[in-house]
Structure 1
Amino acid sequence: MTHPSRLERPSGDDWFSIYRTMVLYDFQAEIHAGFFVSYYRNFAIPSIAKTLAGRGEMQARPLKRSYDTGIVIHEIIANGFDSDRGAAMVELLRRVHKGVPGTSEDFLYVLMTLLVLPLRWVDAHGWRKLTPLEEDAAVAFYSELGRRMGLGPAPSTFFGAAKFLDDYEARHLGPSPEGVALLDATVGALQNRLPRMLRPLTGTVLALMMDKPEVAVALGLEPSPVWLRVPFNAALRLRALRTRMRALPTSPSFTPGGVMSAYPDGYTLDMIGPRA
């Protein structure tokens, strides 16, 4: 028996609650995979890769940097913008981005990768398609995050966000020495999460996860051949079918302060982010 979404339109159009349900419950694995695609996507933009490489954090502490990126956004999603933990993470984002070189379009692009790419992954590989209400909820969340970070106005629709991302990539996507170096330094973070049998193929898996072949090229990876993409997509379809036949998770995919590879004893918020 297939299971329906737990989603119903809440009173007052509580967009952030809808997005929290999407990320932490209904599409746990799918959005998690989409966040990984977002994380590596920035390395395919030469100007952004140069900025990230210049700061040195990813090369010095790649596993911590990868987990911290996920923790920051999940703390805000799980606890809300106005909670003490959520507000602390927004302030951390504002602090670490202060004085970072880049145009307002660059910063908005990074934000839009977090919105667009996970939702595209859900629509391509999830156990069901997203509803317009869920797309609107995600747009509302990242619009609010951008506003609190002091960024310029974000697109007001998912269509507009996706068009912005695609147009930006059409103009800026490309290989760079910094992008390749960042990938080499951080690919272990993905390898750490893959089944043991797939770890020697981490680069191939990452190339398969990218929805545009030119992204793999920009990252210094070999584009995935069709004969590999077919079984890869088939395995994801099988996983989606099995997920559709199971009950929805009742436990969230993220626990604030919880144990993870980078923090085997758990973490406190003062441990998150680059060293002063």
Structure 2
Amino acid sequence: MFLILLGALITYIAVVRYYRYQYVNNLKRDYPDPDVILKNGKIAQEIYCQTFRKEFPLISRESVEVALFKTFTSPTVSKILVSTRELEKHPLRRAEDTELILSEIIDVYPRIQNQLMENRKVSSMETAKQYERAEMSIHRLNELHSKYPILNDDYIFTIALFVNEPIRWINAFEWRQLDIREVNASAFFKVWYDIGHKMNIKDLPDTYERLMEFKKEYEERGVRYSPSNWKVAQPTLCLLYSRLPRFMKPVVRGALPCFLEKVDRQAFGLEEPSWMMTQLLHGILRLRANFIRYFLLPRRQYWTRTPWQPEQNGKYMPTFCIYGTVYPNGYRISELGPAKFGPKCPVMLH
């Protein structure tokens, strides 16, 4: 009996391993030259979405949250955010607006693929509407940013964090490391590079290596301690605490430095993390990674929060909530962002 159970376990692990690595093995076969993907935005978007929304959805999402948090280490960014008082007064809405706008931009391909996986026909008109939503979201992002005196270098630094943090987190804490096609090509760079151009960001580095060189140089001159850094970071942490039992608050506060780099800790005025806490937290995440690698079959559908189509009221209802319900009746892309910058007249959706 024991041998039968052992054989069944070994067979199951072998099946999981085959399907777990099927995608990345196919990727290497289909694109033997990784640089090819950098020249094709459509392929780059598909790889990015597969990596970000299907292979590693949880760690990818958390890494982007950390990337946003790390933008507060720059006083030129944090002082603008403090002056608006938006994060202080409406942290939940700011977090939800940011995630929904970015998801509307990124999730076109995943939404279409999810429909096809459910054996639903997707017409060319429906496909065009999905891409139209992405363009509307970039327009809305530009519209909101134009209200504030944001420096061009701060934009590039933010793009660099959006590119680098998922790579850093996935390679450290997920069940496998990223293939070079998922770094170069994986659109981790290509997709954000294209978005940066649509946001009219000037002098955006055109390779991953140059972008990381810019990030390092920016951190040396622009990331430094300022009281405004932590002032704008605190509401974000309080939002995180709201999801957890009260006794977990000091644990999270003690864990935060373990996931930040030294330059970030210094900019926030945080203490160095304890070796024991760092090893414990990293060990837990590695256990999770090993459990996924050996025992969980890959997810079938893409992980998205943005729905395929609007409700009867013309608004999009998020597929699930994370911190709390901000839009109980759904949202319109033109209404995302601070209420004071909302449309001044009713918006009709085509």
TM-score by length of 2: 0.73
Paired residue for 1:156? 206
Q: Does 1:133 align with 2:197?
A: no
The alignment covers a number of residue pairs equal to 275
Residue number in structure 2 paired with 1:272: 336
Moved more, 256-265 or 102-111: 256-265
Assess, with a 3 A threshold, how the Cα gap between structure 1 residues 99 and 65 changes in structure 2: closer, same or farther. closer
Q: C-alpha displacement at 1:223, in angstroms?
A: 2.4
Q: Say if 1:200 and 1:41 are closer, same or farther in 2 by CA, change over 3 A.
A: same
Larger radius of gyration, structure 1 or 2? 2
Which residue is 2:133 aligned to? 85
- The 5 A counterparts of 1:102-181 are 102-136=150-184, 137-181=187-231
Contact 1:116 1:158 in 2 (8 A): no
1:76 has 2:76 as partner: no
Residue 23 and residue 37 in structure 1: after superposition, are their counterparts in 2 closer, same or farther (change >3 A)? Answer: same
Say which of 152, 163, 184 aligns to 2:234: 184
1:225 and 1:34 map into 2 onto residues whose CA distance is: 21
What's the CA shift for 1:196?
A: 6.8
Q: Is the alpha carbon distance of 1:195 and 1:148 closer, same or farther for their aligned partners in structure 2, counting shifts above 3 Å?
A: farther
Structure 1 window deviating more from structure 2 (249-258 vs 118-127): it is: 249-258
Q: Cα offset for 1:24? A: 0.9
Distance 1:168 1:27, change over 3 A: same
Question: Does 2:26 align with 1:4?
Answer: no
1:232 and 1:248, CA in 2 relative to 1: closer, same or farther beyond 3 A?
same
Q: Give identity over the alignment, percent.
A: 22
Worse overlay, 57-66 or 219-228: 219-228
Residue type of the alignment partner of 1:124: A
8 Å CA contact 1:5–1:26 kept in 2: the answer is no
**Correspondence list, 1:198-237, <5 A:** 198-210=248-260, 212-237=261-286
Alignment gaps of 5+ in structure 1? none
Q: Which shifted more, 169-178 or 89-98?
A: 169-178
Alignment root-mean-square deviation, CA: 2.3
Query: C-alpha distance in 1, partners of 2:68/2:286?
Result: 23
Alignment partners' CA distance in 2, 1:266 and 1:192: 22
3-state DSSP class of the match of 2:188?
helix
* TM-score, L = length of structure 1: 0.91
The 1-side partners of 2:228 and 2:148 are apart by 16
Query: Shift in Å at residue 99 of structure 1?
Result: 4.5
- Gaps of at least 5 residues in structure 2 are 1-12, 32-36, 110-127, 307-316, 342-350
Q: 1:262 Cα shift?
A: 3.5
The yes-or-no answer on 1:49 pairing with 2:49 is no
Work out the CA distance in 2 between the residues paired with 1:199 and 1:154: 39
Residue matched to 1:249: 299
Shift of 1:193: 4.5
Q: Is the 8 A contact 2:75 2:228 kept in 1?
A: yes
